[in-house]
Structure 1
Amino acid sequence: MNRIDRLQAILTQLQSKRIVKAQEIADRFEISLRTVYRDIRALEEGGVPIGAEAGIGYYLMEGYHLPPVMFSNTEAHALLLGAKLIENMADQSVDTAFQSALYKIKSVLKSHSKESLEDLDQRIKVVSNTRTAPQTFDSHFLADIQQALAQHLTVTIEYFSSYNTKLTERTVEPVGLLYYNSDWHMIAYCLLRNDYRDFRVDRIKSLTFSKTFKSRSSDTLQNYLDSLARTEHLEEAVIIFDKEILRYAAPQRYGYGFVSEEDLGNQVRMRFLVGSTMGMAHWLLMYTNAVTIESPFSLKEAVQKLVMELQEHYLTESQSISTED
C-alpha cells in the first residue's frame, strides 16, 4: 500500500471509534510507531484536526465532517456475505438494523457496483442447521443486549430455566455475547447468584434496562472463557476419529468443547475440554468403531456403560419376542 492510500485508510480508521491507539494503526498496516507519528503529522498538516490524549491515542476533533465513505467491490461483497450470515445467525432486531445499514452502503456505490452486488446477492445462500427441537421462545433481544453492553446497563430478564422448566426473574450485568451450539448466549454477572452465568438468548422472554454499572477490571468475555478453561469441572478428552466419518463429526465438534486437532494420515486426533463425559459418550456412540478414546478413562467407562445398557435392552427385547413365538 502506498502512503497516500495508507493516509486515507488511517483517516477512515480514526472515524471508526472514539480513540485509536498508535499501536493499533501500526499493527494494522505493519509499520513502525515512528511511521505512525509521521503519518499523523502529515494528516494534521493537510488540515485534518486530530486530537491526542497522552498515553492513550488519537481522535478526530468534534464537529469535523468527512466526505461519504466509498467502498470497493471487494469490501461491498464482504458486507453482503456478512448480511447473509446475520440473516441466519442473528435475531430479527439485529437483522433489521443491518439490512438498513446495507441499503445505505448500496446507495453510495457506483452503478456497475450496484449491479454486480445485486447479481451476487442471488448467488449466495446460507442454509441454517436443522434443530433437533423447536426453541422455547423466539429471540428478539440481541440488539438490546448489544446496547446494554455498549452503555454498561444492568438488565432485568425473565428467563426460562430448562432444568426446572420455570420462569425466573434475574437482574444481571452483561459481560458479552457468545455464539455456540447454534445459539446465542449472554454471559453476565447475576446479582441473584453473585456469580457469572450463561443465559441462552432464545430463553429470555422479556428484557428491560435498568441503571448503569461500573465494570470490574475482570469483567471481560476473554477472562470468562479463560476461567472456563481453568475450572476443575472441565476435563481434557483425546479422541481419534477415522477420516471417513469426519464429514459428520466435524460440524458437531464445537458443541463438545473442541480445542485442537492433529492429522494422523487416515485418522485425526482431536482434543476437547469436556464438562460432561456422559454427554460426550452419547455423541461418540453413534460413530461406533470409527472412533477410539485415548483419554480419559472415565469417558471410556461412560461409553462401556451405554453399550451394556443397549445390549441388555435389546437382548431382553429379543428374548421377549422369542417367548411370545
Structure 2
Amino acid sequence: MRRADRLFQILQYLRGGRLMTAAGLAERLEVTPRTIYRDVAHLIGSGVPIEGEAGVGYLMRDGYDLPPLMFTHDEIVALVAGARILQTWGGSNMAAAAQEALVKIDAVLPEDQRARVGHVNVHAMETPWHGGHWRDFLDIFEAASEKYIRLRITYEDESGKGSDRVVRPLGVWFWGKVWTAICWCELRHDFRMFRLDRVLDVTEVGDFRPKKGQTLRDFYETEAYCR
C-alpha cells in the first residue's frame, strides 16, 4: 500500500472520534506499529487534529474535513451487495433508505470508483415468500425495538392457529429468507420469537421500560438461545 493511501486509511479509521491504538491500526493496515507512529506524527505535523499517544491510542476531533470519500474494491462490493439485499429482503423503509444510500455514495465517489459500482455482479432475487405485509411489519418491529414501544399483534402459528399477543420487541433477526422478531411476550411472561410472515396485524399500544430479566442481553443468556 502506498503511503498516501495508508495515511488516508488512518484518517478513515479515526473518523468520528473513534479511539484506536497503534497496534490496532498496524494490524488493519498490515504494517508495524512503528510505521503507524511515524504516519500519525506526519499527519499531526500537517495540521490534522489527532490526539493521543503511543500506548494509549489515537483519535481525531470532530469537525475535521476529510478528503472525498474513497472505498476499496472490496468495500464497494460489500456496500452495493448489502444495499441490494436490503432492497429485496429488507423492510419498506429499509429498502428505500438503501436505494438513497447508493445514490449518495455514487454522488461522492471519484469517476473511476463510480464505474466499479455498476460492475458489482451481486444480486438478490425475490421469491414467492415476498407476498404479504411483512416488509411494513419489519419496519414497525425494528422501530419499536429502538423506541421501546409495546405492540399488540395477531399471530398465526405453524399449524394455522391464531392468537393475540402484546409483545415488547427487542430486535429483529434475518435467517436467510425469514425475518423473526425477538420479543418479551406479556401473555407467556417469557421470550418468544415471531416469524414476521405469520404476523397478520400490528397495533402500537404504548411504551415500555426495559426490565431486568426481559432485555435482549437476558435473552442471549437463556438456554433457548444457547442451544
Q: Which has the higher contact order (CA 8 A, sep 6+)?
A: 2
TM-score of the superposed pair, with normalisation by structure 2: 0.70
Cα distance in 2 for partners of 1:114, 1:181 equals: 29
Matching residue within 177, 193, 197 for 1:198: 193
Look up the match of 1:4.
4
TM-superposed CA distance for 1:127, in Å, is 2.3
Once the two structures are superposed, the pairs formed by residues 236-315 of structure 1 within 5 Å of their partners are none
1:48-197 to 2 correspondence within 5 Å?
A: 48-51=48-51, 58-71=58-71, 75-111=75-111, 113-114=113-114, 117-118=117-118, 120=119, 125-131=123-129, 135=132, 137-143=133-139, 153-163=147-157, 164-172=161-169, 174=170, 176-180=171-175, 182-190=177-185, 193-197=188-192
> Equivalents in 2 of 1:38, 1:220: separation in Å?
41
Cα–Cα, structure 1 residues 193 and 79, in superposed 2: closer, same or farther, change >3 Å? same
Q: Does the CA contact (< 8 Å) of 1:141 and 1:207 recur in 2?
A: no
Residues 194 and 3 of structure 1: CA distance in aligned 2, closer, same or farther (over 3 Å): farther
Aligned partner letter, 1:29: L
TM-score normalised to structure 1 length: 0.52
TM-superposed deviation, 1:98: 1.1
Structure 2: stretches of 5+ with no match in the other structure: none
1:230 Cα deviation (Å)? 3.9
Per-residue deviation at 1:169? Answer: 2.1
- Residue matched to 1:224: 220
Q: Distance in 1 between the 2:63 and 2:104 partners? A: 22
CA 1:180–1:209 in structure 2 vs 1: closer, same or farther (change >3 Å)?
A: farther
Query: AA paired with 1:182?
Result: K
Alpha-carbon contact 1:153-1:213 (below 8 Å) kept:
no
Instruction: Classify the secondary structure of the residue corresponding to 1:169.
Output: strand
Structure 1 residue 192 displacement after superposition: 6.0
Alignment deviations for residues 124-169 of structure 1 (CA, whole Å, 9 cap, x no partner): 64323443x954x3322545655666xx532212323323412322
Letter in structure 1 aligned against 2:168? T
Distance of 2:31 and 2:217 partners within structure 1: 29
Alpha-carbon RMSD across the aligned residues, in angstroms, is: 4.1
| Partner Cα separation in structure 2 for residue 99 and residue 72 of structure 1 | 20
Q: Taking structure 1 as reference, are residues 170 and 189 closer, same or farther at Cα in structure 2, changes over 3 Å only?
A: closer
